[in-house]
Amino acid sequence: MTVKFLIKGAAGRMGQNLIKTLSQTANAQLAYALVHNSAPEIGQAVAGFPEVVYSTDLEAAVDFDVAIDFSTPESSLATLAHCQKLGKPLVLGTTGFTAEQKAQIAQVATQIPVVLAANYSVGMNLMFKLVEKAAAIMGSYADIEIIEAHHHHKVDAPSGTALALGEHICKALDRDLEKVAVKERNGIIGPRTKEEIGFSTIRAADVVGEHTVWFADIGERIELSHKVSDRITFARGAVKAALWLTNQPVGKLYDMTNVLGLDQL
């Protein structure tokens, strides 16, 4: 059975990698390639899928099996509403959602299948589980720091993935990330508190994505790192999630832990 995809943000870096991945995936077909209304690609045929042209008309996109959206929070919420209206599954790769927007997504996920993940790399999602294990063993006494680096076009900081790492650590330690996260250090700030989790941000050139977590004690330090050199890894994970989602029931908001079955490890 061929699965028909709607891609929102199709002209962007991730959108282009998603289209490339679909062209290499058996039984996957691009049905719609949606872009911003100022995109120069509007009306042009999509490479690899010449029968599809780049479009801005979300309301006209109705004949698809699953949608993937890597755009902006506001644009993604429009896609969410559209999929809700049509009863279609949705994979969300957009970062920067507010707590209220995440709550809205979770509510809609009780009506249609939705995957929301900060990172669609298989390796990073394995790292989420590894930091939980490290936090359970060392987190009560070690100083925890998260360092992330991305390209100079990235607009949010810390990255959604860095914050997700913090959430997984706090899950293991029964802490509230909002209360213990330190995202800026400048001037005379005093000594480090024991429970805080520090975030350091680097923005430079064409760095695709790098994340390192320190669990530092006097005399030793564990570093867990994940580095991405090609965005295609995110696209492959998102397409994998979309194909998985087409066979899932509603009732909960899914993430890549569910897609990869990591809780069964």
Annotated binding site: 9-14, 93-95, 117-120, 151, 160-161
Token pair recorded at residue 74: 């506001």
The residue from 36, 154, 171, 183 that is catalytic is 154
Determine the 3-state secondary structure of 144 from DSSP. strand
Q: Summarize the annotated binding site for (S)-2,3,4,5-tetrahydrodipicolinate as residue ranges.
A: 151, 160-161
Cα angle: 28, vertex 86, 231; to 5 degrees:
40
- Is 150 labeled as catalytic in the residue annotation? yes
Handedness of CA 242, 244, 249, 253 (dihedral sign): negative
| 3-state per-residue secondary structure call for 190-214 | CCCCCCCEEEEEEECCCCCEEEEEE
Length of the chain: 265
The residue from 82, 88, 150, 226 that is catalytic is 150
Q: How far lies 182's CA from each of 82, 101, 197, 265, in Å? A: 37, 23, 6, 31
- Is 152 labeled as catalytic in the residue annotation? no
H-type alpha helices, the chain: 13-23, 73-86, 99-108, 122-138, 160-173, 177-180, 232-245, 256-260
Distance CA 135, CA 74 (A): 34
Point out the residues that are catalytic.
150, 154
